[in-house]
Amino acid sequence: MPRLQGVGVLVTRPVQQAERLCALLEAEGAVAVRLPAIGIEPVPGAHEFAAGPMASQPFDLVIFTSANAVRFGAALLERLPGAALAAIGPATARALEAAGRPAAVTPAGRFDSEGLLAHPRLANLAGRRVLIVTGLHGRELLREELTRRGAHVDIAPVYRREAAAHGAAELGSIAARLRAGEIQIITATSAETAAGLLQIPDADLRRELERAHWLVPGARVAGALRASGLEAPILQAESAEDHDLVAAIVRWRSSASGA
């Protein structure tokens, strides 16, 4: 029997990023229910960003904070022929590889701003120019800490997150499946995704979201969920990588069944 036979998983990633996780879940026998919590859209004019700063002096390091940053900011690479590239995690590194510019810097173990800041290549950037390619209104930790270390930091916001639109019938169906116990796991692979899901304006669905276990990639997202008032059980995967999310659900299933 497949290891996740009978397990329903609510996959809340944006449409463009959900399919690989859904495929892995379904290969293990799970039922993947898609409900994107946020949408990802390009920032108008992002490719014309910083014409002055980018032309005045080369950047020493360009940091991409997500695969979406590569997706919407890849055109900037043409203006950065000699810069070393950094990726915040494996998915971002794969996106850069596919764009033809492999990352020279990736964190080990922890795939977030804190993990990247721990890399030796970022320890001594005093006087160096750094460009952070990221989403609009993202975390400020990288910029603040690299500035504190003496780097000259510019930001290129190339995409924005928007609340996903859902009809009443779709939300009602999800709430009913949660109520019936057909969905046991809710994925929240970023704080923004978690917030987007909890802010869906459907009171019935919000109540039913407490019925399932929530799966997150680390303590920061778990903390954001608790701060939002969520009381449901929270499971933590080793990372936001698809295979780590599936592995965490398999561990939960084995523990819950006594296997």
- Of 170, 226, 258, 251, residue with least CA distance to 3: 251
Tell me the two tokens of residue 199. 């802010």
Q: Give the tens place of pLDDT for each residue, 30-77.
A: 999 999 999 999 998 766 665 555 556 789 999 999 999 999 998 888
Question: Please, where in the chain does CATH 3.40.50.10090 lie?
Answer: 8-37+166-257, 41-162
Mean pLDDT of 232-252: 95
With residue 45 as reference, give the H or E element that holds it. Answer: none
Longest dimension (CA), the chain: 63
Q: Give the tens place of pLDDT for each residue, 195-233.
A: 999 999 899 999 999 999 999 998 989 999 999 999 999
With residue 245 as reference, give the H or E element that holds it. Answer: helix 242-257
Tell me the two tokens of residue 48. 């014309």
Is the separation of the CB atoms in 188 and 12 below 8 Å? yes
Q: Give the tens place of pLDDT for each residue, 11-30.
A: 999 988 899 999 999 999 99
8-37+166-257 in CATH: which number? 3.40.50.10090
Confidence of residue 78 (pLDDT cuts 50, 70, 90): confident
Cα 256 from chain centroid (whole Å): 27
Which DSSP string do the residues of 103-156 spell out, in sequence order? Answer: -SB--SS--SHHHHHTSGGGS--TT-EEEEEEETT---HHHHHHHHTT-EEEEE
* CA pseudo-torsion sign 162, 163, 169, 172: positive
Let me know if 44 is exposed, middle or buried by CB neighbors in 10 A (0-12, 13-18, 19+): exposed
**Share of the chain residues as helix, strand and coil, in percent rounded to the nearest 5:** 45, 20, 35
- 109 pLDDT above the threshold of 90: no
Is the separation of the CB atoms in 197 and 186 below 8 Å? yes
Q: What does pLDDT average to over the chain?
A: 91
- 110 pLDDT above the threshold of 90: no
Q: What is the pLDDT of residue 52?
A: 53
- 138 pLDDT above the threshold of 50: yes
Q: What is the pLDDT of residue 48?
A: 65
pTM for the model stands at 0.85
Task: Check residue 259 and report its DSSP letter.
Answer: -
Residues 6+ away with beta carbon under 8 Å from 149 = 122, 123, 124, 125, 126
Tell me the two tokens of residue 19. 């399919």
Confidence of residue 163 (pLDDT cuts 50, 70, 90): confident
With residue 43 as reference, give the H or E element that holds it. Answer: none
Domain over 41-162 is classified CATH 3.40.50.10090:
yes
Distance CA 71, CA 215 (A): 25
Task: Check residue 164 and report its DSSP letter.
Answer: P
